[in-house]
Structure 1
């Protein structure tokens, strides 16, 4: 049997904490009894009353050691000489046996923004990523007893998860055919959350939401990638422009032929197509040349 199979994860269960207000009432009654015993022993010179008052004082000190309080979204793991006895999640004044250990833990939502880390994306390009997540403890026993420092554990696992997701997809796809870190934010954030929940489950922690706060090419390739993006944008614009120009030329030739405005042979059609494409695709205004002679 492997070591992993032998190790059983801790599981939270109801603790042994009791109502502290009832114990507080008992403490007040003991105070009154101690006062009467001491005053009676001193006035009546009764050693037994003094001894009884001293005994009640010891009991009072014993009971006072068992009080603790819990605020909203706070829990206390109760241990008996190292043996986990359960978790108390009831708010207010609580009481348990004084020899019981009480480890408090916050159940509130926590916000964490990771440091920027450098990751190689799916295509090997270095990119910088930083993530933000909202996490909270769901199982106090696992958070306190299955990991040494659950807050440090969260910080370390965030970096590992970000590296895993960052290497799974390319930063950008100029042809828009792949899932990318920049173009599919919701999908990638969902996978990052699932990865974090899986990694943090051993510590009894869940992730409510997460996403990237910083996503960019590393400085050493940022300039080259910017020029590539600009070139891709220029090519895309040119493709659209040429496609539109070809459509307009086809329409012009069809209308001339349909209305029989002028009959052109193949050579003149080629010349017209060339001239129209120059006019429509050129970046500068063209200067027309008026032909006053024959077309031939």
Structure 2
């Protein structure tokens, strides 16, 4: 017979001992009372056990915790979505000319007012001769500022060029107008070429389908589509274009020199798609990327040249042998069909051998 205390102890052990946890003493499930003499109404709640994956055990019989797998890296972030080209405010050049003329006229009138006109201007009526006082200096400052603003903001807008304006690090807009314009001279401006342009690269490293090193010069036709992203989205959009072309050449297999034209066109289409996708986020529009010159790398050029020569020689030899064999077969067949010769197998072999030697000798004599 077992005592009730033993039964209770055994039932408690079954409750806290299973295949996924180790045996825990009962007194560890309860903390001491916060104050002596104060009865505890109920034990502190036991924190939930960590999740177990697969029911396996780790070292010491502890459950195996799930491993954290790092999230895969996402695509590169695009530039600021608010950085989109928008037109900036620009006034006709006549406004700047008028403001500058008014400023110059104001300086002349102030000099007349102060009575300090130079000797060449004595033909004008005599001024008040008030002298150079605070009012005159204030008039000089205002007229001079107006003249500087008027003439300093004059600029010429040309076809195929744009001005990107910014102030205090903030994009203010783009001016694509042509002719004489007035732009606030206090706003910094940056000129950018928006014409259709082509760029022939220097030889860049590439490989063919067999992994043989090549040097490829490409011709890129492109233009700036969004001036805001091209000027402010990257440090140098032309250098960024070169890097994108070089990266695309490392991913596309270019056919070696002398291969089919269709394969070269396929490589150009693949290069165009890759470069256009990479540069579209910075405001560039790539129309085509075509291999202009493909050659073997200097370290393998001699070996590949010898290999090409050997392949051409083998192909010529195979073609010559096929021609000789066809000629011998046609000759023997025609002689037999016309009844000119009656040969057994041994005589036929000898005739074929002699004709082959004769045709090969005659072919070598005809080749210079």
**TM-score interval, normalised by the smaller of the two chains:** 0.7 to 0.9
Contact 2:102/2:147 (8 A) holds in 1: no
Partner deviation per Cα, 1:18-72 (whole Å, 9 max, x = no partner): 2122321232134224423431353214579735454333333344443333333
Q: Is residue 144 from structure 1 mapped to residue 228 from structure 2 by the alignment?
A: no
| Per-residue deviation, 1:141 | 0.8
Q: What does 1:58-69 align with in structure 2 at a 5 Å threshold?
A: 58-69=145-156
| Per-residue deviation, 1:269 | 2.1
Aligned to 1:274: 353
Name the structure where strand makes up a greater proportion of residues: 1
Q: What secondary structure sits across from 2:188 in the alignment?
A: strand
Aligned to 2:309: 230
Contact 2:100/2:146 (8 A) holds in 1: no
Provide closer, same or farther for how the CA distance between residues 120 and 188 of structure 1 changes in structure 2, counting only shifts above 3 A.
closer
Separation (CA, whole Å) in 2 of partners of 1:72 and 1:135:
17
Q: What secondary structure sits across from 1:257 in the alignment?
A: helix
Aligned to 1:38: 111
| Per-residue deviation, 1:284 | 5.3
Q: How many residues align?
A: 277
Contact 1:140/1:204 (8 A) holds in 2: yes
Aligned to 1:164: 251
Aligned to 2:161: 74
Q: What does 1:92-111 align with in structure 2 at a 5 Å threshold?
A: 92-108=179-195, 110=197
Aligned to 1:291: none
Aligned to 1:16: 89
Aligned to 1:28: 101
Q: What secondary structure sits across from 2:184 in the alignment?
A: coil
Partner deviation per Cα, 1:125-166 (whole Å, 9 max, x = no partner): 12223334344323211111110122222232232223333x
Runs of 4+ in 1 over 6 A off after TM superposition: none
Aligned to 1:248: 327
Aligned to 1:290: none
Separation (CA, whole Å) in 2 of partners of 1:109 and 1:278:
64
Contact 2:79/2:281 (8 A) holds in 1: no
Q: What secondary structure sits across from 2:295 in the alignment?
A: strand
Q: What secondary structure sits across from 1:136 in the alignment?
A: strand
Aligned to 1:119: 206
Larger Rg: 2
Q: Is residue 153 from structure 1 mapped to residue 240 from structure 2 by the alignment?
A: yes
Question: Structure 1 stretches of 5 or more lacking a match?
Answer: 286-296
Provide closer, same or farther for how the CA distance between residues 269 and 146 of structure 1 changes in structure 2, counting only shifts above 3 A.
same
Contact 2:99/2:147 (8 A) holds in 1: no
| Per-residue deviation, 1:201 | 2.0
Q: Which has the higher contact order (CA 8 A, sep 6+)?
A: 1
Q: What secondary structure sits across from 1:4 in the alignment?
A: coil
Aligned to 1:191: 270
| Per-residue deviation, 1:184 | 4.2
Separation (CA, whole Å) in 2 of partners of 1:3 and 1:164:
18
Provide closer, same or farther for how the CA distance between residues 256 and 9 of structure 1 changes in structure 2, counting only shifts above 3 A.
farther
Contact 2:205/2:213 (8 A) holds in 1: yes
Separation (CA, whole Å) in 2 of partners of 1:254 and 1:220:
53
Question: TM-score scaled to structure 1, two decimals?
Answer: 0.77
